[in-house]
Amino acid sequence: MRRMIGGYALALVLVGAVTVVVAAIRQTADVGNVSMVYLLAVIGSAIAFGRGPAIAAAIASFLAFNFFFVQPHYTFRVGDDDEWVALALLLMTGLITAQLAAMLRERVTQAERREKEAVVLNDVVRLMTDPDVERAFTAVAHRLCSELHLSAALIVFGTQSSAQTQAAAGDDQSLRLARDSLDLPGMILGSGQQATAASTATPGRWIRVVAPRKARSQPQPGSERVSSVPIGSEGERLGSLILVRDAAAPPFSRVDDRLLSAVASQLGLAVQRLELQREANEAEALRRTDELRAALLNSGAAACCPARPARQSGLL
């Protein structure tokens, strides 16, 4: 809310600064379309603060030019009907410019976020190829902390009663807060829609967790910053990714939600791959044990029952 109010306030400050510039221009030269200078404030507001402040700057420019530079001065009345056309053009041009500049800003922001998402996912996939699983999980936790402005990231596997920490990154106080919130985090990210041949995957919504009435107590300071992302594979819950946001960090965006869902899926696939590798190693050990047992049985049977010499047939 403070950031939004600050954007509107700074947009109005830009309009005031442009008004001073327009007044200086009118004192030195007779420029007919000097009102177009107000578009600088509109474009600057759209690029810096977004669509809402840009529209506010366009409306404020219309009012400021009418109040200070259209006769009669220092009033919102218009003495000449032709001035209405100029004012209307100024307002329409400002609104259209605000929309276009805001759309351009949003496109650039989306492109930067998608590039960031692709880079982080590529790095996570590369990190998960490390033969040392614990080192790979720890590297992923540190990378999430740096990219998402987290105070701590905790990767745990197992149920709530037997959860085991596989990786941890962050300061001690935030890690303690994450461990204390394993059973009851503040928010849990839903599974969302799975990808199909005709549609892309979408992240789920954040679900606020409320403790049962009997288990409610005084909430721990900072518990509202704790979020949990389930780690699963093939519909089976394997663990959780516990995140603690910085106190000054903004909430997770939809791009962050999609990134966290993808990282959780990669962690689940890694655990499944390790489980399959363990089963394959056990099967190979059993196969070799059976071969060794069969070889021992064959050698024992040969030692206990040596081959008898063949009888020679003939007449006595």
Give yes or no for residue 263 having a pLDDT over 80: yes
CATH top class, domain 128-194+202-211+222-275: alpha beta
- The confidence score (pLDDT) of residue 195 equals 65
Which pLDDT value is given to residue 219? 55
Give the pLDDT of residue 180. Answer: 82
- Tell me, what's the pLDDT at 316? 36
Residue 220 pLDDT exceeds 90:
no
List Cβ neighbours of 199 (8 Å cut-off, separation of 6 or more): 193
More confident residue, 216 or 192: 192
Residue 231 contacts residue 268 (beta carbons within 8 Å): yes
Q: Average of pLDDT values for 242-255?
A: 85
Mean pLDDT of 117-134: 84
Amino acid at the residue 159 = T
Q: 127: how many CB neighbours lie within 10 A of its CB?
A: 18
Rounded Cα–Cα distance for residues 9 and 277 (Å): 59
Confidence tier at 303 by pLDDT (50, 70, 90): low
What pLDDT digit, counting tens, does each position of 67-98 carry? 998 888 888 888 777 778 888 888 898 899 88
* Six-digit token string for 314: 């003939």
Q: Give the DSSP H or E segment for 218.
A: none
For 7-66, the pLDDT digits (tens) are 899 999 999 999 999 899 888 877 777 888 998 999 999 888 888 999 999 999 999 998
More confident residue, 311 or 77: 77
Nearest-angstrom CA–CA distance, 144 and 260:
9
The pLDDT value recorded for residue 148 is 87
Contacts of 92 (CB under 8 A, 6+ apart): none
Predicted local confidence at residue 315, as pLDDT: 40
Predicted model pTM: 0.65
192 dihedral zone (left: phi>0; alpha: psi -120 to 50; beta): left
Mean pLDDT of 220-236: 78
pLDDT band for position 211 (50/70/90)? low
Read off the pLDDT of residues 142-189 as tens digits, 9 standing for 90 and up.
Answer: 999 988 889 999 998 876 555 576 788 888 888 888 888 777 777 888
b vs e for 219-242, b when ≥16 Cβ sit within 10 Å of the residue's Cβ?
Answer: eeebeebbbbbbbbbeeeebbbbb
74: left (phi over 0), alpha (psi -120 to 50) or beta: left
Task: Give which of 181, 156, 167 is closest to 237, Cα–Cα.
Answer: 156
Length of the chain equals 316
Domain map (residue ranges) of the chain: 2-109, 128-194+202-211+222-275
CB within 8 A of 225, min separation 6: which ones?
151, 177, 186, 244, 245, 246, 247
Beta pairing partners, 236: 233
Query: What's the rounded Cα separation, in Å, for the pair 58 and 249?
Result: 31
Mean pLDDT over each residue of the chain, to the nearest integer: 81
CB distance 226 to 181 below 8 Å: yes
Residues 6+ apart with CB under 8 A from 194: 201
